[in-house]
Structure 1
Amino acid sequence: MHVSRNLQKNGHSQPLRAMSELLHLDLLKEGKVLLAFSGGVDSTALFHLLLDHGIAFDIAHVNYHTRDTSDTEEQSAIALAEQYSLQCYTHSCRLSGSNFESRARDERYRFFTYLMTKHGYTYLLTAHQLNDRLEWLMMQLCRGSGLPEILGIRSLDTRNGIKILRPLLEHDRESIEAYLYERNISHHLDESNSDERYTRNFFRHRYSAPMMRDYTDAIRRSFRYLEEDSESLLETMNFTVIQELSYAANPSNMRSLIYGIDHFFKSRGYLLSKHDKEALKRGGEHILGRRFTVSIDTHYTFITPYESGVMMDKGFREECRELKISPKLRGYLYGAPHAYSVIRQLKGAPAPLRFD
């Protein structure tokens, strides 16, 4: 059922009026946005803040049927949308097996991507906030990650080809709860948030929550500086897509190269493993997940579907050899003449295709 947390005013450093400050407010006003809505503290606060700012939006809710209240929460989301004449899209799924958090994330983003594409929303909004960002940083530190991975929760991002905004990323959980309390806005509580069998909950209760209580403003500033430093240290790889060929000029340093390739795949819903990233540092050609070919040459990185066992024309094979086109790219390129023509030009081939 809907509940309101019994919060007491505690003189928190971030007053209620500051909750009106949303990141990327100018972008939120472009077209219509889709809010990923669970009905919990954060997404409920963002729902009402969007109303306060007159932002045009609809909501999407995923029911995993993991709790006794799951169906009630879905019906509450539908009723809330109807109350404000908004569209509420719902998706029902039951996931079994291990690694629930990762599979649930993949499931909901498939749903969100479908809605974004079908209905033409400009941005997907998620209600991640400052505590989430600190929890993520701690988990990545314990996995031996670098700066790009540590800053994996960004205020403006892409995934599966859709643009994502996180307007609450500089607000801490305590301020968000205070906003709901002072406005007397009801919301649902997820009992699973107290279950330390989930990795994020373990870090939340043991480490991040105590730190946020004492160092909120300093943590907020640190993330701003880290993001600025990241932007100055990492060069952007801008991939061009021709048919199913994607290519980009190589940056000047290896860290930017691996980050650029990782970001390319992550934006399409494919996560590189630690082994993949280490292998890519050696350059050359690589097969990822038996699905993709990545070829890193002197000037460009090429990514195509992986196709093996293709019978190729002798002239085509010879020209690829002369142009030093990766053997593992050739299976796809043989059936994609336009993409092959682009690579020929990038390789400096002056003559027409020999096998035409």
Structure 2
Amino acid sequence: MCLISTLITQRLIVSLYDKLSPATQSLTRGKHLLGFSGGVDSVALFFILLRLNVVFDMAIVHYHTRKEADDEVAYAKDLAQKYNKRCFIAHAPHFHSHFEANARSFRFGFFGEIIATHHYQSLILAHQLNDRLEWFMMQLVRGVGLSNLLGFEDSRSYPIIRPLESIPKNEIYQFCKDEGLAYFEDSSNNDMRFKRNYFRYTFCNELVNSFSEGIARSLMYLQKDKQTLLAALTPQALYLESLSQALPLESKQQCAIFAYNIIETHLLLLACDKIAKRCGYVLSA
């Protein structure tokens, strides 16, 4: 029975490693920073990175909103000491409103400062497939376009790598169970007053548990489509497109090679949305 259990565990681990993001391969070079929380996702990712011999350190934010947070920070420090990692800790101020947006801004400001100061090559985050579908569903009911449906679009001066983005959360739980890894559960994840939790327990968990491979492929294809569209929205392409309107027919046909005549109104709006976000604004419907 023990041998059978070991073989099942090995198959699960192989399956999980096969689903890691292709971008994970770039982690074999240089040193990187892992955004750590003490939850099941970041704990699993910590030990996966160890197995892949990735050179990385850790960063964790203490928001002082839950009593368990003290234990999570202590756990991060213990792991760092045991595995010879640096552990950067930030203590967030009290946010009087818009907690999620303010916490995100503080968190990425903290990460960015560490990366710039200590010359890390990338930020590693533990978002997984359930996270992506939850965001997708929440945006879908708002009525948004492709750019916002996929989310996780970060205009940063450093790359962000999400190795677990195609792995369902139930497999991450199983990995931690089989490996005997300790992790913390955020009690707020069960609070149905939060919209994300409503979508998680009403729709997303069951969908991912039943159709994870198809969902992961669909999100991958949509991401590729998004990258193709945004590639046509460079300032040079937009300039050539506007310039071509004043040219004679022959020149206009030559200019079209560079001008991406596929650009239409909704694509221009995507460009405006991208620029607005870089300036700190989110466009309304």
| TM-score of Structure 1 vs Structure 2, range by shorter chain | 0.7 to 0.9
Output the CA distance in 2 between the equivalents of 1:229 and 1:152.
14
1:40 Cα deviation from its structure 2 partner:
0.3
Q: Is the 8 A contact 2:168 2:209 kept in 1?
A: no
Output the CA distance in 2 between the equivalents of 1:228 and 1:256.
15
How many corresponding residue pairs? Answer: 256
1:256 aligns with 2:253: no
Code of the aligned partner of 2:193: R
- Find the partner of 2:13 among 2, 7, 16: 16
Output the CA distance in 1 between the equivalents of 2:78 and 2:209.
35
1:255 Cα deviation from its structure 2 partner:
2.9
- Find the partner of 2:280 among 263, 270, 274: 270
1:193 aligns with 2:189: yes
Output the CA distance in 2 between the equivalents of 1:125 and 1:90.
16
Q: Which moved more, 1:68-77 or 1:15-24?
A: 15-24
1:338 paired residue number: none
Q: 3-state DSSP class of the match of 2:184?
A: coil
1:67 Cα deviation from its structure 2 partner:
0.7
1:132 aligns with 2:101: no
How has the CA–CA distance of structure 1 residues 213 and 120 changed in structure 2, closer, same or farther, with 3 Å as cutoff? Answer: same
Code of the aligned partner of 1:63: H
Q: Is the 8 A contact 2:276 2:283 kept in 1?
A: no
Identity of aligned residues (%): 35
Q: Which structure is richer in relative contact order (CA contacts within 8 A, separation 6 or more)?
A: 2
Code of the aligned partner of 1:225: Y
1:177 Cα deviation from its structure 2 partner:
0.6
RMSD across aligned positions (CA): 2.5
Q: Is the 8 A contact 1:16 1:178 kept in 2?
A: no
Output the CA distance in 1 between the equivalents of 2:30 and 2:271.
29
1:223 paired residue number: 219
2:121 paired residue number: 122
Q: 3-state DSSP class of the match of 2:231?
A: coil
List alignment gaps of at least 5 residues for structure 1: 1-7, 241-246, 276-356
Code of the aligned partner of 1:177: Y
Superposition pairs for residues 37-186 of structure 1, below 5 Å? 37-153=36-152, 158-186=154-182
Q: 3-state DSSP class of the match of 1:207?
A: helix
List alignment gaps of at least 5 residues for structure 2: 242-259
1:33 paired residue number: 32
How has the CA–CA distance of structure 1 residues 160 and 234 changed in structure 2, closer, same or farther, with 3 Å as cutoff? Answer: closer
TM norm structure 1: 0.66
TM norm structure 2: 0.82
More strand by share: 1
1:222 Cα deviation from its structure 2 partner:
1.5
How has the CA–CA distance of structure 1 residues 236 and 114 changed in structure 2, closer, same or farther, with 3 Å as cutoff? Answer: farther
* Structure of higher CA gyration radius: 1
